[in-house]
A and B are shown apart, each in its own frame.
Chain A
Amino acid sequence: MSPEAAAALQQTRFSTVDGVIVAIYLALSLVIGVFVRRYARDMTAYIGADRKIGTWLGVATMLGTEMGLVTVMYSAQKGFTGGFAAFHIALIAGIATLIIGATGFIVAPLRRAEVLTIPEYYEKRFSRRVRVLGGCILAFGGILNMGLFLKVGSQFIVGITGLSAEGWALPTVMVGLLLLVVVYTALGGMISVILTDYVQFVILSFGLLIATGMAISRLGWDHIFETTQAVLGDAGFNPVAEESGFGWSYVLWMFVTAGLVGCAVWPTAVSRALAMESEKAVKRQYMISSISFTIRFMIPYFWGICALVFITASPEGADLKHLFFPPEGSGVEAVDNLYALPIFLGRLLPPVAIGIITAAMIAAFMSTHDSYFLCWSSVITQDVVAPLRGKRGLSEAARIKLTRLIIFALGAYVLYWGLFYRGKDDIWDYMAVTGAIYFNGAIAVLIGGIYWKGASRAGAMAALIAGCSAVFGLGPVQQAVGLQTWNPESEEWVQKLTGAEVGLLSVGLALASMVIFSFLMPDKNESAPTAAAAIN
């Protein structure tokens, strides 16, 4: 990074008062984790909060979990590059969640089955082997998926507080935040996750509204839309326009990822449904959460758009324009556009407000990390290690201890990935592809298992394996197998199939595998883990 860019990054209004606000919030989270530790007496309490979560607490924790700082960052990046056209993802997410809430599709039968994890359902419906395979794939895809969270989140903190983007600041922030989350999650499990999520919901909700109001007031409502039109043209509004960078296959892929999967198949969202006090509460939770599932994308997109307007068409951001958009042929490398949002907020917000927003964003960071740590670690304990021990089993105390150890191991992995990963992927697309390794198979197994009596164990195993084909959407894998070819003239990789197209094909393959293998190899022992009727 050039000295000029580094100097621009350090211009922020973040003050000592803001630092104190952030410190108080962090201390509060740690105190909650220590305080509720005594209630985590068994696995149902530790990973399911005794299934006693009321509707509004469920709504709060859903927003806390699903709106992570990484969501804010990658969504702002999408808004910065795609303009209002990116809003279609928010719209799809909201409509899908509303439909899931109204119908209870997938989530209501899962809650009725009284399972703690999705792979546990696989065993109830199919067999232990399906559970172990599903647990392994879920943990692999999920852990890979959260690899970028820590680094991207820390980039925000560094950007908004004006710390140096290079040198000691970024790793120090990463280690500090990570230690805090790992400790309170390992101590209190789901109970501390739920309580901290509530605090995070309050700070996050009002923080989002305050910052949005200030951005509109500072830049001007009409000016935001006019500048987007001037910079991005019609493609900045129409998601199916050719130059928008989205298109029909992308929109369709978003129906799967941001829509169906985001609320009804993704394990951290489903774990909230499984912790609710009743099936009725699950449906209410989803109906109300359709607002937050829209907002979690829409507000960060809007902030990204505001950052674009600030940098390209406002006097205060004039010094940034040539850093983010260097003239062609100048040989100057553009500053990573992930920094656009934190720099914009750092210059927009006054002291105290900037402290509250930073605390809100750290809240978003921690609420996602804690849920992910708990979710993947409990899946490894409950659905891989415990079933593999067979009749010897695992005591409740041993399970809690093992889950805590895995949480610390995941923390170490995330830190390693954050410190050494040097990829240049579009973050949202990276996450969609890595997540798809798990959810493409899970869609087929859950829908088939719940709604089709003919779904068999062989069909479920085949669907889970077929879903792993989503890995071919990742850039390095595509290059290795020839799905991307190097063009020496333009000096860039040319895709034969986009990540979205690979994802859609992979979903189709998983669904087809479920149907074909269930017909070819139906279950013979009907008395064993049984049919949809048992759950419906």
Chain B
Amino acid sequence: MDWTFFWKLMLIVMLGLFALMAIAGTIFGAFDIRRLMAHLRNPDENTDRE
């Protein structure tokens, strides 16, 4: 098994996926915070999505 090639490939793929995750997490995480704060301000109101 060519370990060098395997680890090179894994490094490239995971860095790419992580970059996408960082962008998505930053944007959608902000929306989740807004919803959480809305719930904490008015805990009796239903703020569920599901």
Contacts and interface: CB of A to CB of B under 8 A. Distances in A.
Interface residues of A, number: 49
Interface in B18-48: 18-19, 21-22, 24-33, 35-36, 39-40, 43, 47-48
Contacts of A195: 33
The residue in B3, B8, B24, B30 that gathers the most chain A C-beta atoms within 10 A of its C-beta is: B3
A294 interface: yes
B4 A229 contact: yes
A63 B3 CA distance: 27
B39 A52 contact: yes
B7 A52 contact: no
Given A84-B4, A209-B19, A54 B35 contact: yes
Contact of B39 (A50, A63, A201, A209): A50
A401 B25 CA distance: 33
B31 A56 contact: yes
A178 to B, nearest CB: 26
Contacts of A413: none
B40 A202 contact: no
A91 B3 contact: no
Contacts of B24: 56
Contacts of B22: 201-202, 205-206, 209
A278 interface: yes
Given A84-B7, A291-B14, A60 B29 contact: yes
B35 A225 contact: no
A265 to B, nearest CB: 24
Contacts of B33: 57, 195, 198
A212 B15 CA distance: 9
A504 interface: no
A295 interface: yes
Contacts of B48: 277
A45 B14 contact: no
B10 A87 contact: yes
B7 A87 contact: yes
A453 interface: no
Interface string A222-250: 00010001000010011000000000000
A56 B28 contact: yes
A6 to B, nearest CB: 34
B25 A52 contact: no
A226 to B, nearest CB: 10
B50 A91 contact: no
A510 interface: no
B21 A292 contact: yes
Given A56-B24, A201-B29, A238-B3, A294 B36 contact: no
Contacts of B43: 45, 50
Interface in A181-205: 191, 194-195, 198, 201-202, 205
Interface of A: 36, 39, 45, 49-50, 52-60, 63, 84-85, 87, 90-91, 94, 191, 194-195, 198, 201-202, 205-206, 208-209, 212, 225, 229, 234, 237-238, 277-278, 280-281, 288, 291-292, 294-295, 298-299, 302
Pairs A-B, 10 closest by C-beta atoms: A54-B32, A205-B22, A57-B32, A56-B28, A237-B3, A39-B40, A84-B7, A56-B29, A60-B29, A295-B18
Given A57-B29, A84-B7, 17 more contacts: A50-B43, A53-B36, A54-B28, A56-B28, A57-B33, A58-B32, A87-B11, A90-B10, A91-B10, A195-B33, A205-B26, A208-B18, A209-B22, A237-B4, A238-B3, A277-B48, A298-B10
